Amino acid sequence: MSLINLSAYELNDAIRKKEVSVLDIAEAYLQRIEKVEDKINAFITFDRDLFLSRAKEIDGYIKEGNEVFDFTGIPIAIKDNICTKDIRTTCASKILANYISVYDATVIKKLNRQHFLMVGKANMDEFAMGSSNENSAFGPVRNPWNLDCVPGGSSGGPAASVAAMEAVCSLGSDTGGSIRQPASLCGIVGIKPTYGMVSRYGLVAFASSLDQIGPLSKNVRDCAALLEIISGYDECDSTSIKADIPKYTSFLNSDIKGMKIGVPKELMVREIDSEVRDLIYKVLRMLEKSGALIEEVSLPNLEYALSVYYIIAPSEASSNLSRFDGVRYGYRNMESATLREMYKKTRAEGFGAEVKRRIMIGTYCLSSGYYDAYYEKAQKVRTLIINDFKKAFSNYDVLISPTSPTTAFKIGDKADDPLMMYLSDICTIPVNLAGIPAISLPAGISKNNLPVGIQVIGDILREDNILKIAGAIERDVKWKISPKI
């Protein structure tokens, strides 16, 4: 079996037993990247020499008899909104095209302590705004299952790189679904952890009350193991929570007999493709056979989640993105006569259309006279949504829904229709608004050979429950990654 087919834990085992060197692994991945990357475009920055020299360095570290950790020498792709010292962090935007951070994000520091092997900086929708990875100043990413289709977004690069076997796992960010939806469309696993469980220090902010970093991988175990490494309190992030980090991998083989699963009827609405819905019900029946109790449940305020999100997220974005003014970071228009003109031209030239749209919506919602009608009202409805989840979790261990209403759609199909694009996230957005954890994993394959993802949602800090159910689903579905590329 080729090295690129192995999971992180299999590679780790082989490294520990000295059956392979990290350089062997890097060379296998390099060969793969050189073969498929032209078609996929999963990376914004990939430095071949750095990749190989880092692999040799890690081999040296192992040879000296140092500890081999779970992710020592494991090739991991990093979404390009996570700061890496000395390697540019573009957010897939022209405005940050040459931006080099002076520090590593906390998640990178944690992975560096493990001596991981960074593959490169993965492509994404500009500033993580989008559901198709078409909003990148560095070109769209293609879905490894069908090159005419989108990989989902905004973590399209992190998802496609794993599905195309250009990386073993990756880190993405999820504000409204950006880890789970691309994981679903690319046939892999992705976790959006409880808000505050993973430090956001060094993640370029989109909507700070929603953003969370999380792992993507080919199987649930790698995802759980990677989550364990990146989790934990960080004094550099004021929203970080002081909670013990459970041994996430220990939950995967649990007996799920007697666990209670709710199926929110508001997430099984008419926008969901019938094929997607059928596969979700098929998985639910398997879980029932394993002894889980399944009931339909109503969370009435989920109906408003999309509207609430598209007020809160753009509002926070308009504030967060005000720092990109041509003075403090990145691109600057050099032909302006006045400071005001420089601001205007820098932002007009530096930001893409979707980012500008969000900044305008957000600025409008926050402006005096509209703040109460939009922003404040949205915050109130957000509380109602949180309460709906609280109530549901007093009765159920987890909630289950599709991750995305459809399988991967064609590049260009929704690019001119923002509202259609926004609908891609109807099942994932409520989770971010409530700050709770959720996982997406493969539920099966559609008739036209595209992956369908299932979402398992847990209460705050109940990653254990979602991993128990995800473990059971993975055993039942017996998914094999087999994209054509």
**Contacting residues toward ligand GLN, per CB under 6 A:** 128-131, 154, 174-178, 206, 313, 425
Return the ∠ at Cα 434 (arms to 430 and 437), rounded to 5°.
90
**Which CB, 206 or 409, lies closer to ligand GLN?**
206
* DSSP letter, residue 482: -
Residues 6+ apart with CB under 8 A from 283: 400, 443, 444, 454, 473, 476, 477
At 50, which helix (H) or strand (E)?
helix 48-63
Sign of the torsion angle spanned by Cα atoms 234, 207, 262, 132: negative
HSE toward the beta carbon, residue 249, CA cutoff 13 A: 12
Which position among 178, 240, 315, 440 bears the catalytic label? Answer: 178
Q: Least distance to ligand GLN from the beta carbon of 155, Å?
A: 8
Give the β-pairing of 212-217 and 189-192. Answer: antiparallel
Concatenated DSSP letters of 413-478:
SSTT-HHHHHHTTTTTHHHHHHT--EEEEEEEE-TTS-EEEEEEEE-TT-HHHHHHHHHHHHHHH-
Active site residue 79: yes
Provide the 3-class DSSP secondary structure of residue 174.
strand
**Which CB, 59 or 425, lies closer to ligand GLN?**
425
Q: Least distance to ligand GLN from the beta carbon of 205, Å?
A: 11
Which position among 21, 101, 132, 154 bears the catalytic label? Answer: 154
Q: Least distance to ligand GLN from the beta carbon of 131, Å?
A: 4
Q: Least distance to ligand GLN from the beta carbon of 206, Å?
A: 6
**Which CB, 313 or 427, lies closer to ligand GLN?**
313
**Which CB, 346 or 428, lies closer to ligand GLN?**
428
Q: Least distance to ligand GLN from the beta carbon of 231, Å?
A: 19
**Which CB, 234 or 425, lies closer to ligand GLN?**
425
**Which CB, 386 or 423, lies closer to ligand GLN?**
423
Q: Least distance to ligand GLN from the beta carbon of 322, Å?
A: 18
* Dihedral pair phi/psi, residue 44, rounded to 5°: -90, -40
**Which CB, 30 or 311, lies closer to ligand GLN?**
311
Residue identified by tokens 């691109």 is: 331
Q: In sequence order, which ranges of 233-326 are alpha helices (DSSP H)?
A: 274-289, 305-320
* DSSP letter, residue 194: P
How much of the chain is helix, strand and coil, in % rounded to 5? 45, 15, 40
320 token code pair: 């967060």
Return the ∠ at Cα 376 (arms to 371 and 378), rounded to 5°.
115
Residues 6+ apart with CB under 8 A from 65: none
Active site residue 154: yes
In this structure, are residues 70 and 8 in contact, taking their beta carbons and an 8 Å threshold?
yes
Q: Least distance to ligand GLN from the beta carbon of 355, Å?
A: 10
Catalytic residue set: 79, 154, 178
